[in-house]
Amino acid sequence: MDRFEPQLKIAEHFGLPLPRKNPYEGKESMLIPTIGAEIEIPWRCVIPDYYTWFNQPYTDFSDEKRARFNEVCEQIDARLKKLYEFTVDAGIPKGRERYHEFAHNPVNWHGTLADEINLLFDAGLIPSNQNLPLHLTVGGIPLTKKVGILAFILESVGGSTGERIRKPYNQPYIQQSWNRKGTAGLKERSEDVMQGRYKTGTEIRTLVANTPEQVRYILYTAQMLGASILHSDIGHEIGWANLEEIVTDTYLAPMGMKKWFDDPSTHLEPWNSLASFVERNAQELKDLVDKNSKDVEAFLKRSILIAA
């Protein structure tokens, strides 16, 4: 399938303007990570008075309450199910989480995926400002200290919230959120689940999707810094070593944070510190990251993408 075909079908079906094809999507390089994403649409976003219903676990519902709840769910399905099923037919795979999960195939260039997700926001299928669970897969980068630092950066520059970071231990009767799979919010993806040119990658599970602009920024930052990591791994520095040193010494070390393997169920205090830091929205870190990302983007467009 043409990687732009889902956009074409969704734009036409919902009467939306079609984004311009990104000229970099057709160019491949083993020194630029692919970017894939999963965005969950939780039941809380589609069920009226969700928190009134779930003041107790579903398993504790009385027979009468369960019957009324199931009736509400049938009414919601009648209104929404066909809309979400259309996106599957259009070429966006469906995951298995929550009411619906958009399991976007990886792209060569972040802008292609950002445009696809933007259309879903515009169609009303992804609600804005709801802190929706976002899992981002960076192709070509195995689970190491470097990707742990990348995750911390993405969380801290608008990619997550304190509430999202704390969720695994704040809601004991709800599934363990991002900590349910992998280690410390990171999960290495192997050949059997990866698509495209890479046989390995890492899924960052602690992020949120809020607006089209915020998602686009996180996809962009993840790919630019991911490319910086790939270059660093072959001894060609385009900024990662300096960024890693500053982030480790200035932010992670004072928190006692060994982000790439600390489990919040046994290392609670560092994760509380991380959540508080994320809530602070440190502008100085964002400025540093943005400069690095722009430098990497300029290098890629000048030396790799144009030549590919």
Provide the domain count of the chain. 1
Residue 99 lies in a domain: yes
pLDDT at residue 234 greater than cutoff 90: no
**For residues 185-209, average pLDDT:** 82
Both tokens of residue 221? Answer: 């930052």
Residues in contact with 207: Cβ distance below 8 Å, sequence separation at least 6, in sequence order: 133, 134, 135, 136, 154, 155, 159, 160, 164, 218
**Cα torsion angle, 67, 73, 76, 78, sign:** negative
- Name the pLDDT band for 307 (thresholds 50, 70, 90): low
Assess contact for 190 and 137: CB atoms under 8 A.
no
Return the pLDDT at 22: 85
Q: What is the 3-state secondary structure (H, E, C) of 81-150?
A: HHHHHHHHHHCCCECCCCCEEEEEEEECCHHHHHHHHHHHHHCCCCCCCCCEEEEEEEECCCCCHHHHHH
Residue 188 lies in a domain: yes
The range of the structural domain enclosing residue 186 comes to 5-40+93-305
Residue 260 lies in a domain: yes
- Name the pLDDT band for 229 (thresholds 50, 70, 90): very high
- Name the pLDDT band for 280 (thresholds 50, 70, 90): confident
pLDDT at residue 288 greater than cutoff 80: yes
Return the pLDDT at 265: 64
The average confidence (pLDDT) of the chain is: 88
- Name the pLDDT band for 117 (thresholds 50, 70, 90): very high
Q: pLDDT tens across 205-220, in order?
A: 999 999 999 999 999 9
Residue 52 lies in a domain: no
Rg of the chain on CA atoms, in Å: 20
Q: pLDDT tens across 253-271, in order?
A: 888 776 666 666 667 788 8
Q: What percent of the chain has pLDDT over 70?
A: 91
User: d(Cα 258, Cα 69) in Å, to the nearest integer?
Assistant: 43
Count how many Cα atoms sit within 13 Å of the Cα of residue 284 in the half-sphere of its side chain: 5
pLDDT at residue 172 greater than cutoff 70: no
Return the pLDDT at 301: 87
Query: Regarding predicted confidence, which is higher, 141 or 266?
Result: 141
- Exposure pattern of 279-297 as b/e (b: 16+ CB <10 Å)? eeeeeebbebbeebbeebb
User: d(Cα 84, Cα 3) in Å, to the nearest integer?
Assistant: 19
Return the pLDDT at 171: 58
Return the pLDDT at 173: 45
**For residues 300-304, average pLDDT:** 83
Ordered DSSP codes for 21-60? PPTTTT---TTS--EEEEEEE-GGGTSTTHHHHTSS-GGG
Return the pLDDT at 29: 83
pLDDT at residue 224 greater than cutoff 60: yes
